[in-house]
């Protein structure tokens, strides 16, 4: 169990469960929270006992945006010197799968954190959105880029230019989220799926995520070459030998992540 000031975490059956813990302000994201979150994610990424991570929020929201009071008086020089989004960028280097379990609001920075996850499970009543335009600013931690890659230019602009909220059903329709789940079952169902992933051979899971991430940006021929190299690489692993031997011997494989 890791209990920090703004984030709590524990490991359950190979799943690193991380909970944002500022429920009194709907888990508004401040800089110390991001630092704690990324430090925990980095530690789980290096922990051989963790195969996958789940991020959720305590209370009535996933994260209802950035802490506006924290940044309202910042100047461009302040933000440059703070390197405002350096910790956010580290999330993109996490090699293990990240699953977001979204309850309630995921707005502004909360939506950006959700989009930084590899998979999103959400309640049927969750709401998403980028209200930054209503404050005279715009997303800065990847929101315009991530949403456009998922929805396409026209649909992304439709939401970004008005700051309106997107329902969970709309998010599902546009491919922003993977599954809609009853609120009382969100964490249970998310953890059930995460535990299945945690039992898979770690190297294969890691290289599958890496190849899919490349597919988003690479032309098809380059993506195919990258995929093939990862495919070949896995044949040097003990898990490949174990997995294929177990299949031929009609027994359950015992993967070690080697």
Q: Starting at the earlier edge strand, list the strands of the sheet with 7-12.
A: 2-3, 7-12, 15-20, 52-57, 98-102, 119-123, 179-181
Judge contact between 90 and 11, C-beta under 8 A: no
CA of 98: how far to CAs of 38, 131, 205, in Å? 12, 25, 12
Judge whether 51 counts as a catalytic residue: no
Judge whether 189 counts as a catalytic residue: no
Which residue out of 66, 101, 141, 171 is catalytically annotated? 66
The contacts of residue 142 (CB under 8 Å, 6+ apart) are: 88, 112, 115, 116
Judge whether 109 counts as a catalytic residue: yes
> Which of 142, 117, 125 is closest to 18 using CA atoms?
117
User: Max alpha carbon distance in the chain (Å)?
Assistant: 65
Which residue out of 19, 36, 112, 227 is catalytically annotated? 112
**Ramachandran quadrant class, 163 (left: phi over 0; alpha: psi -120 to 50; beta: rest):** left
Give me the helices (H) in the chain, please.
31-46, 68-71, 76-82, 86-91, 109-115, 143-151, 153-160, 168-173, 186-198, 202-217, 220-234, 238-248
Judge whether 80 counts as a catalytic residue: no
Q: Locate 233 and state its tokens.
A: 């690489």
Which residue out of 109, 142, 143, 243 is catalytically annotated? 109
């249970």: which residue's tokens? 188
Strands 7-12 and 52-57: unpaired
Which residue out of 132, 168, 194, 198 is catalytically annotated? 132
Active site residues: 66, 109, 112, 132
């Amino acid at each position: 169990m890791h209990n920090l000031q703004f984030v709590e975490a524990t490991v359950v059956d190979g799943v690193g469960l991380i909970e944002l813990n500022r429920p009194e302000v709907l888990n508004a994201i401040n800089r110390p929270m991001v630092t704690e979150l990324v430090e925990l994610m980095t530690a789980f990424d290096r922990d051989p006992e963790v195969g996958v991570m789940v991020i959720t929020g305590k209370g009535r929201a996933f994260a209802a945006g950035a802490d506006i009071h924290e940044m309202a008086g910042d100047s461009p020089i302040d933000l440059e010197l703070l390197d405002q989004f350096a910790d956010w960028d580290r999330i993109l280097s996490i090699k293990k799968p990240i699953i977001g379990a979204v309850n309630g609001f995921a707005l502004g920075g909360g939506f950006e954190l959700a989009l930084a996850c590899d998979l999103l499970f959400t309640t049927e009543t969750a709401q998403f959105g980028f209200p930054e335009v209503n404050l005279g600013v715009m997303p800065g931690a990847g929101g315009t880029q991530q949403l456009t890659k998922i929805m396409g230019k026209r649909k992304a602009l439709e939401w970004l230019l008005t700051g309106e909220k997107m329902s969970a059903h709309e998010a599902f329709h546009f491919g922003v989220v993977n599954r809609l789940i009853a609120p009382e079952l969100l964490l249970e169902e998310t953890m059930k799926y995460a535990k299945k992933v945690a039992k898979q051979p770690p190297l294969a899971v890691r290289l599958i995520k890496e190849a899919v991430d490349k597919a988003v940006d690479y032309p098809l021929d380059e993506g195919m070459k990258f995929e093939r190299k990862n495919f070949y690489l896995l044949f040097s692993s003990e898990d490949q030998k174990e997995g294929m031997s177990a299949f031929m011997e009609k027994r359950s494989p015992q993967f070690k992540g080697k």
